[in-house]
């Protein structure tokens, strides 16, 4: 059993107050334990955790490039096997590195079946470079490269379904989790690192700076994503969904209205059609995963 009181991602790093990604790393390492080698991609976390000569990582850690973390991890995994070593290999990479630029290396590494766990901290845009849209940016979110304007409601496409893509590669264990539910998150990471083969865990990690909310609201907003059905926490074993977090669903606008990136849907004028389109995405999630808890009406 991993000692959950041990901090392997140390304090003193340079993340913003209320950073969801920093919390994701801290919880993920509690789940993985200290017999772990971490591979990071270039991005916010890499920058705020390792300004030479300081490091926040109390486990062996390596960063090479933006797009090659899973190829580096392939080499590490092969090397450990050859040397008869027992460390777990854990990638921690952002959504840009995962959904977009790292896709080639990820596909290759999952197809080859190396033993590693890929954790994507998903804050739904390129935050390190100044909040540009990625393949993980949700529908209608305003970013610096998908700005809302007189001719645009922001990002034109819904999120890419990475968990499904990696399940289709034959990943034995795929899960999504949220920093709003730490026990579930740690449990899923622990299960992933103890499953042989390439596993994928996608962590919802709100970014106060990029999404536009106060740093003390990170957990509340992460929770609202789950409660509105815009983020679903689930597990897939051998490609089949085995566990889903069920909720009594709230309307999506309770989530959208908390963040500056969706402000254009409410001001200067409420955009009913757009909000309805996002509600439809949540409804589709609810149907696909069966997340709704139905409360019987009182007679």
| Residues near other proteins, by CB under 8 A | 34-37, 39, 46-47, 50-53, 55, 57-65, 67-68, 71-83, 87, 104-105, 107-109, 111-112
Buried/exposed code over 275-287 (b: 16+ C-beta within 10 A; e: otherwise) = bebbbebbeebbe
Question: In angstroms, what is the minimal distance from the CB of 191 to other proteins?
Answer: 20
Nearest residue (CB) to other proteins, 15 versus 230: 15
**CA 54 vs CA 10, 34, 82: distances in Å:** 11, 19, 31
Question: In angstroms, what is the minimal distance from the CB of 42 to other proteins?
Answer: 8
Q: Identify which of 249, 196, 244 has the alpha carbon closest to the alpha carbon of residue 225.
A: 249
Question: In angstroms, what is the minimal distance from the CB of 126 to other proteins?
Answer: 16
Question: In angstroms, what is the minimal distance from the CB of 40 to other proteins?
Answer: 8
Distance CA 110, CA 198 (A): 6
Nearest residue (CB) to other proteins, 101 versus 230: 101
Token representation of residue 148: 């809302």
Question: In angstroms, what is the minimal distance from the CB of 162 to other proteins?
Answer: 17
Q: Identify which of 173, 192, 174, 164 has the alpha carbon closest to the alpha carbon of residue 28.
A: 192
Nearest residue (CB) to other proteins, 78 versus 277: 78
Question: In angstroms, what is the minimal distance from the CB of 43 to other proteins?
Answer: 11
Token representation of residue 48: 């705020």
Question: In angstroms, what is the minimal distance from the CB of 129 to other proteins?
Answer: 14
Question: In angstroms, what is the minimal distance from the CB of 183 to other proteins?
Answer: 25
Instruction: Find all residues with CB under 8 Å of 36, minimum gap 6, and list them.
Output: 8, 29, 59, 60, 87, 88, 89, 90, 193
Nearest residue (CB) to other proteins, 63 versus 249: 63
The distance in angstroms from the start CA to the end CA of the chain is: 48
Kind of pairing between the strands at 116-122 and 173-178 = unpaired
Nearest residue (CB) to other proteins, 68 versus 259: 68
Token representation of residue 167: 């399940």
Nearest residue (CB) to other proteins, 26 versus 249: 26
**CA 66 vs CA 46, 59, 105, 112, 224: distances in Å:** 10, 20, 11, 21, 30
Distance CA 222, CA 233 (A): 11
Burial status of residue 54 (CB atoms within 10 A of its CB: 0-12, 13-18, 19 or more): exposed
């Amino acid at each position: 059993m991993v000692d959950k009181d041990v901090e392997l991602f140390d304090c003193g790093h340079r993340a913003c107050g209320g950073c969801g990604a920093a919390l994701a790393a801290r919880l993920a390492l509690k789940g993985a334990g200290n017999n772990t080698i971490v591979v990071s991609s270039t991005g916010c976390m890499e920058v705020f955790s390792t300004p030479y000569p300081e490091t926040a990582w109390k486990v062996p850690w390596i960063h090479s490039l933006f797009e090659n973390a899973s190829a580096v991890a392939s080499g590490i995994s092969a090397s450990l096997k050859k040397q008869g070593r027992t460390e777990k290999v854990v990638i921690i990479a952002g959504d840009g590195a995962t959904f977009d630029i790292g896709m080639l290396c990820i596909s290759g590494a999952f197809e080859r079946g190396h033993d590693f766990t890929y954790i994507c901290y998903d804050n739904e845009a390129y935050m390190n470079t100044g909040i540009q849209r990625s393949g993980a940016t949700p529908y209608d979110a305003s970013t610096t490269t998908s700005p809302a304007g007189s001719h645009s409601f922001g990002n034109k496409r819904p999120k890419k379904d990475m968990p499904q893509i990696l399940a289709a590669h034959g990943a034995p264990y795929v899960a999504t989790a949220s920093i709003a539910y730490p026990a579930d998150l740690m449990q899923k990471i622990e299960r992933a690192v103890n499953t042989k083969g390439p596993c994928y865990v996608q962590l919802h990690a709100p970014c106060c700076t990029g999404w536009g909310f106060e740093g003390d609201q990170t957990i509340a907003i992460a929770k609202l994503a789950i409660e509105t059905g815009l983020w679903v926490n689930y597990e897939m074993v051998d490609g089949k969904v085995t566990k889903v977090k069920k909720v009594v669903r709230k309307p999506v606008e309770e989530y959208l209205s908390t963040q500056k990136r969706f402000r254009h849907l409410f001001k200067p004028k409420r955009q009913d059609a757009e909000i309805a389109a996002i509600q439809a995405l949540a409804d589709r999630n609810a149907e696909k995963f069966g997340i709704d808890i139905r409360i019987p009406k009182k007679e």
